[in-house]
Structure 1
Amino acid sequence: MADYAGAKAAIRARLEAGWTTTRITVQNEQPAAPWPPVDVDGVLQPWIQLEVVGLGSSIWTFGTPGNRGWRYPGTIYVHVFAPVGSGEATANQYAVAIGEIFRAAKFYEDGQGSYVRSLSPQVDDGDSGSDDGNWFRVTMSVDFTYWHRG
């Protein structure tokens, strides 16, 4: 049966299936070695981090148990990190391309009325304020709603 945890997993799976250009990290998981990502010459390489932020839930249709509509809004953030000094063009291009993976998408459909619907992606202007001073960050964000029937 579909649920919010499954919706979050489907968001991750959609990103992993649609993005193979850089390494993907996710919250509360240790990245694979080598970390940070480097090429064969030891030069830092871009990478991305997925963050899914839920904003609660609410009922939107009433009915008998198992036949109610629930709405779980949230935002998908994909942070693109590029080495400081490499320019912002690559980070911006990556953020825009990642946004297209989620643009106006409908996925995680269970056939019973539960699914994820994402809206229009946004790309911010970036920031070079990483804790270690090595990374320039650009973030793609897209609002989504997990619609649940249950």
Structure 2
Amino acid sequence: MSSVVAFDTISQRLTASWTTTDLVFENDPYDLPGTPAAFVYVEMWGIPGGFDQESIGGGADRDDNLWRECGTLDIHVMVPNGTGSRDARVKADALIDLFRGFEIGDVTFLEASVGEGKPGRQFANYWAMTASISWRRDQ
């Protein structure tokens, strides 16, 4: 999981900027509609060992040094099964455009991809196309 600072930065950007579908964050309650409709499921995670000291000798206190947290934002665009992948790709591209190359607060967004070379996946009545964005946060 990511730090609360990274989580808050990312979730605030998404909730302020994305109105196309419902947004569902990790472990949030969400009742699937009777008729499947597109929605976005958001996961944020830190790379294992990804909060590392990046400088030495910054001062007497360890917090005087630069610490860097690295992670990935996975945005799963969920569309009804059997509706093709184009709509999911359009939504994934739009979601990536909200972050790629931006610096928001202490969080810098880096590389992004749709699918990361992996096929979409089925979940009950839904099919998922995943957009992934690398991020880092300096403290």
2 CA distance for matches of 1:121 and 1:102?
Answer: 9
Shift of 1:86: 1.4
SS across alignment from 2:98: helix
SS across alignment from 1:30: coil
Shift of 1:126: 4.1
- Taking a change above 3 Å as real, the CA distance of residues 85 and 10 of structure 1, as seen in their structure-2 partners, is same
SS across alignment from 1:36: coil
Structure 2 length as normaliser, TM-score? 0.87
Q: Which residue of 2 aligns with 1:139?
A: 130
Aligned residues: 131
1:44 and 2:36 aligned: yes
Shift of 1:23: 0.3
2 CA distance for matches of 1:126 and 1:36?
Answer: 23
Whose strand fraction is larger, Structure 1's or Structure 2's? 2
Q: Which residue of 1 aligns with 2:52?
A: 58
Q: Which residue of 2 aligns with 1:16?
A: 15
Amino acid at match of 1:52: M
2 CA distance for matches of 1:29 and 1:75?
Answer: 19
- Taking a change above 3 Å as real, the CA distance of residues 128 and 5 of structure 1, as seen in their structure-2 partners, is closer
Amino acid at match of 2:18: W
User: Equivalent of 1:88, from 71, 80, 85?
Assistant: 85
Of the structure 1 ranges 6-15 and 98-107, higher mean CA displacement relative to structure 2 is found in 6-15
SS across alignment from 2:35: coil
5+ residue gaps, structure 2? none
2 CA distance for matches of 1:129 and 1:84?
Answer: 7
5+ residue gaps, structure 1? 109-114
Identity of aligned residues (%): 28
SS across alignment from 1:97: helix
Q: Which residue of 2 aligns with 1:112?
A: none
Aligned-pair RMSD on alpha carbons? 1.6
User: Equivalent of 1:102, from 85, 99, 119?
Assistant: 99
Q: Where does structure 1 differ by over 6 angstroms across 4 or more consecutive aligned residues?
A: none
